[in-house]
Amino acid sequence: MSHLALVKPLSHLREERKHIEEVEVAGFGLSVARGAVAEVVGGPSTGKTSFALSLLSGLTSAGEVCAVVDSCGSFDPQTAFQAGVKLEQLLWIKCERDVEKTFISADHLVQAKGFGCIWLNLCGLSTDKLRMVPKTYWFRYRTRIKETQTILLATTPEHVTGSASQGAFVFEREEAEWSGSGKFRLLREFRLRMHERKQLFGKDLRTRIEMDYSEV
């Protein structure tokens, strides 16, 4: 008796369900867990965008489909392309500074499932408005992506996810190096200090981000 080609043995199904529990973000020495909420907190020019783009680059290069919920129109496709993000593997949602639209969009994406990463970029939104967002939103997101491959990454100027996030990182800028003089100086690199908000006794991590002004 022949077997149907679409019927797979149990051992094969178990093997397919296996996935990498954590994804290492190249250049930062940090890892984020799949099926969980991660938060990166920091002020302007502290490396939050570089961190997110590095994560998206690794996932989209591996063939995964990712999404960006762009709350304030700050996502730049050219910068993402230069960082190695495969734009054909990326869904870009513009929310035009509308807090409600931002969180509803994220809600639809986590319900859809199948995304390697959903980057919820909240930088640029009013902190007063962000504080009004119920904490239950984050717990709902966490529940819906649990036991999936999806990473929900929130970048924000202050801590907003509460205990719903499995990883909460704080980025701070330490030093910057410039070339040139007067009004014609160019930023060459800046150094970052990073620490895990929920790991009280862990050591701070440090990295640097270099600027590349060459034409693509």
Query: pLDDT per residue over 156-179, tens digit each?
Result: 999 999 999 998 999 987 777 777
Q: Is 47 helix (H, G, I), strand (E, B) or coil?
A: coil
pLDDT, residue 143, reads: 95
Question: Domain 20-210: which CATH class?
Answer: alpha beta
Q: For the chain, what percent of residues have pLDDT higher than 70?
A: 81
CA angle 119, 49, 152 (to 5 degrees): 20
pLDDT in tens, 64-88: 999 999 999 999 999 999 999 999 9
Each domain of the chain, given as residue ranges in start order, spans: 20-210
Q: What pLDDT band is residue 112 in, cutting at 50, 70 and 90?
A: very high
Query: Residues with Cβ < 8 Å from 5, sequence gap 6 or more?
Result: none
Alpha helices for the chain (secondary structure H):
10-17, 48-61, 77-82, 99-112, 127-131, 136-145
